[in-house]
Each structure stands twice: as C-alpha cells, then as structure tokens.
Amino acid sequence: MEQDVQIKITDRDGKLHEIAAPVDMALNLMEVVRLYELAPEGTIGICGGMAMCASCQCYVLTEHPLREMQDEEEAMLSEAFNVKSNSRLGCQIQITPEMEGLEIELAPED
C-alpha cells in the first residue's frame, strides 16, 4: 500500500518486528507501537502523548531526518532514565513518508 511506510521496531524483549505504519492517520511512533501492541498496554504512552512521561522513549538506529526536538521533549528526556544520545520520545515523532526503512528500539521500562 502506498499509504504505509515499513518500520523496524525492536521491542523491550529484544524481538524485532517489521511493521507497516500508515501515514494517513496522523499517528506518531508511540501510537504505532500501541497499534501493533508491541508493548503491554499501560507501559507505553502513559501520559497520552504529551511528552510528560518517558514511557515511549526509544532509540533511533537509522539516520532518517526526524522532526527536530522541541523544548518539552528535550526537558522530559533530561529527566528520564536510560537516555542515550539517540533517544527520542516516540509520541513526538509523527509518521511521514520519509520514514520508510526507519529502525528504532524501545527503551526499557522505568
């Protein structure tokens, strides 16, 4: 389908999932993880997607150009645990056609 981009997501158990993420539903990466139930309900997207918790933290493994980090996300990540230089909050990254082939790994649960 033209409407989907292929994304590789490694879940918290280290299992790799290749999924098709729709670009026409205004979804973000956190919602895609929930869409495919790649993390148990109640352990991801706890704040609902307001960059006010870090339950959707992920590590970006490819060099895709992603939306620049806004203040809220940067502030949250400065308080989160297990943060690496490639950490992002999934809820702040909208799915776009440019993300074809993106690879991410979910950060461990707090």
Size of the site for another protein (CB under 8 A): 18
Torsion angle, alpha carbons of 5, 63, 18, 96, to 10: -20
Nearest distance from residue 10's CB to another protein, in Å? 20
Between residue 72 and residue 101, which ones bind another protein under the rule CB under 8 A?
74-75, 78-79, 81-83
67: how many CB neighbours lie within 10 A of its CB? 12
Residue choice 40, 70, 97, 101 for contact with another protein (CB under 8 A): 40
> Residue 71: CA atoms inside 13 Å, Cβ hemisphere, count?
0
Taking Cα atoms as reference points, which of 33, 43, 49, 46 lies closest to residue 92?
Answer: 49
Q: Does 41 bind another protein (CB under 8 A)?
A: yes
Using a 10 angstrom Cβ sphere, with 0-12 exposed, 13-18 middle and 19 or more buried, the burial of residue 25 is: exposed
- Name the residue among 24, 23, 22, 19 with its Cα closest to residue 9: 19
- Does residue 47 interact with another protein by CB under 8 A? yes
Which residue in 42, 63, 65, 68 binds another protein (CB under 8 A)? 42
Q: Which stretch binds another protein (CB under 8 A): 13-21, 24-32, 70-78, 93-101?
A: 70-78
- What residues make contact with another protein under the rule CB under 8 A? 40-43, 46-47, 50, 52-53, 55, 74-75, 78-79, 81-83, 110
